[in-house]
A and B are shown apart, each in its own frame.
Chain A
Amino acid sequence: MSYQVNRKGYYGEFGGAYIPEMMHPNIEELQEKYMEIINSYNFKQDFINLLKHYVGRPSPLYYARRMSERYQSHIFLKREDLNHTGSHKINNTIGQILLAKSLGKTRIIAETGAGQHGVATATVCALMDMKCIVYMGALDVQRQAPNVKKMRMLGAEVIAAESGNKTLKDATNEAMRDWINNPVDTHYIIGSVVGPHPYPDMVARFQSVISEEIKWQLDEQLGRELPTRILACVGGGSNAAGAFYHFLDDESVELIGIEAAGKGVDTDESAATLTLGKPGVLHSSRSFVMQTKDGQIIEPYSISAGLDYPGIGPMHANLFATKRAKYLWATDDEVLEAALELTQLEGIIPALESAHALAALKKIDLKPEDVNVINLSGRGDKDMETYLNHFGY
């Protein structure tokens, strides 16, 4: 069975491109050209060079000794938090800005939740001298204030989305509306493996450098390429897609995605899409969606702005449906505890999003000989206010 996208843009029954006609020329152009561009010699050279010298890749695969002792199982951290701009998001924005250049675009738009994708987009726009507009839910503008300031200093215009719950879904709506209104000069850098085909596949390919590195880094450190399992948090699912990518066909490797349960999956303040959603169409692709019985999208909730989204990428919907990957959830409280634990055991302050993956360690049966790789998707700088308010330091 292939877990990759098929020619029509579907992962099993999920995916597709449910776009209004106004977006057709841009999406068709991407569908026709993206593979050719990203497989070209020049693109590959530029991409690899920038990842190495600008982003600082490869990111370390770090054996977390004290965490391993605590959990009585081998724990490695894939340090995406050490990338330039502080998360995995930059892998994708580097790829997409190069693509936008080849397509002759001059104006970039993006949506952002935690602000990490917004910062990563504003950064590559500064680097490539492109006009940059970032849409961000008005609530997220407040709770991720440092990132808003960074984006502005980088030269981006940040526009607060005032509709809905004023979070990631609403920012995505606004970005799509912008693209509809600016069909010629603009490229939309979507921040996760969501949206119409070819975005889920394209973003997964740019993020797949994560699992490519994990393979040789494990080989280098342990003399084996395959871990027992990989854990990654899932909002739209891009860091998880990148961490799973080169292990999808190695069926012995257990793949675990962790969604944000917010205040709990039995409350109405949650963002655990695979647990609470059903198949539907949101943001131009068919996947699991949190929705009412009438098909209206439910406003999600999570303490972590980057996971506060009522959908999930179609690749994950298919991995879930085929049972290739398993999806767990973690609540706000479990996540805060896990973040503090990593901070005090290893001296690493994780992003709230990434702490969801850490929280899952308490939910699975770990054996002493297991090799667990946790994708530490980002660092906690942007979440300091939340941490300080909660822990009272």
Chain B
Amino acid sequence: MKNRINQLFLDKKENILSVYFTAGYPQLDDTVSIIEKLVASGVDLIEIGMPFSDPVADGPVIQNSSLVSLRNGMSIEKLFDQLIGIRETVSIPLILMGYLNPVIQYGLEAFCRKCAEVGIDGLILPDLPLNEYQENYREVFARYNLHNILLITPQTSDKRLKEIDEASSGFIYMVSSSSTTGAKSSVADFQKDYFERVKAMELTNPRLIGFGISNKETFDNACQYAEGAIIGSAFVKALDGNESLDVKISNFVNQVVKGV
């Protein structure tokens, strides 16, 4: 079955820019405007964060955006309502990212069905580990043509890398260093070793590097070792200022892509 994620990686082999934001932040109803403005600024893929009260894999910036979003009244149900009709204006791949518990409470099957209905292409659920996915989730995701995006870290063994590659169908999310989101990155020597080691393995899935990518320098650096990179915390932080969403978003993306 055709999936926009696969299509993206067929069409584009380098410098792919994926951006994460937390749905419901800064304002509850910003979701669609943020997506449309990111698309207009030229990003290739968008990860829409579903806020969770206890995001253990996230650093302070995304913890805060999640908290504000929940206070604003965001929920999975609300998010799906906002996304109805998004495919009339947006054609790039969209991924939902969040923690397992709200998905379980929504109901796995109902959640996947709704994802397919509104036009979601993939899921990133950091606390859904490989073995649970294989045993209890894979089949349902597949039925609704949803790719599960799995993470790897510098500590992931070659053996497990191969298992993850085998279980992946969209791309592999390569976490730059073992950390929570938003950690500073400088592409240190040991990271280079890791990036090169993974690159040399010639995995079947494309890779995007994430965590700690925040500007043109770190983005370009990451793109030397993978098809592209993912920006999360730095973008969420950029949504803080007083300018209009429009200006904030296009400034941020221009800065990452063109350095201005």
Flag if B183 contacts A173 (CB, 8 Å). no
**A22 to B59 CA separation, bound complex (whole angstroms):** 14
CB proximity of A338 to chain B, nearest CB, Å: 32
Q: Mark A269-302, 1 if CB is under 8 A from B, else 0.
A: 0000000000011111000010101111100000
How many of chain B's residues have a CB under 8 angstroms from any CB in A?
A: 39
Interface-located stretch among B33-41, B153-161, B214-222:
B153-161
Given A24, A177, A184, which contacts B56 in the complex, CB threshold below 8 Å?
A177
Give the chain B neighbours of A25 by CB distance below 8 A. Answer: 155-157
Q: Which residue of A lies closest to B99 (CB)?
A: A281
Interface-located stretch among A12-20, A100-108, A129-137, A314-322:
A12-20
Give the chain B neighbours of A384 by CB distance below 8 A. Answer: none
Given A22, A24, A281, A282, which contacts B179 in the complex, CB threshold below 8 Å?
A22
**A20 to B178 CA separation, bound complex (whole angstroms):** 11
Q: Given A280-B105, A291-B101, A294-B105, is A176 in contact with B151 using a C-beta cutoff of 8 Å?
A: no
Q: Does A164 contact B (CB under 8 A)?
A: yes
Number of A-B residue pairs having CB atoms within 8 Å of each other in the complex: 102
Q: Does B22 contact A (CB under 8 A)?
A: no
**A181 to B178 CA separation, bound complex (whole angstroms):** 6
**A177 to B179 CA separation, bound complex (whole angstroms):** 8
Given A289, A293, A296, which contacts B52 in the complex, CB threshold below 8 Å?
A296
Flag if B151 contacts A296 (CB, 8 Å). no
**A177 to B102 CA separation, bound complex (whole angstroms):** 20
Q: Give the most central of A19, A164, A281: most B CB within 10 Å.
A: A281
* Contact-residue size bin, chain A (C-beta under 8 Å from the other chain): 20 to 34
Give the chain B neighbours of A56 by CB distance below 8 A. Answer: none
Flag if A289 contacts B101 (CB, 8 Å). yes
Q: Which residue of B lies closest to A297 (CB)?
A: B53
Flag if A21 contacts B129 (CB, 8 Å). yes
Give the chain A neighbours of B128 by CB distance below 8 A. Answer: 18
**A186 to B126 CA separation, bound complex (whole angstroms):** 21
Known: A173-B54, A281-B127. 18 other contacts (CB 8 A): A18-B127, A20-B126, A20-B129, A21-B175, A22-B179, A25-B157, A164-B53, A176-B56, A177-B59, A180-B56, A180-B178, A181-B179, A181-B180, A281-B104, A282-B54, A295-B103, A296-B53, A297-B54
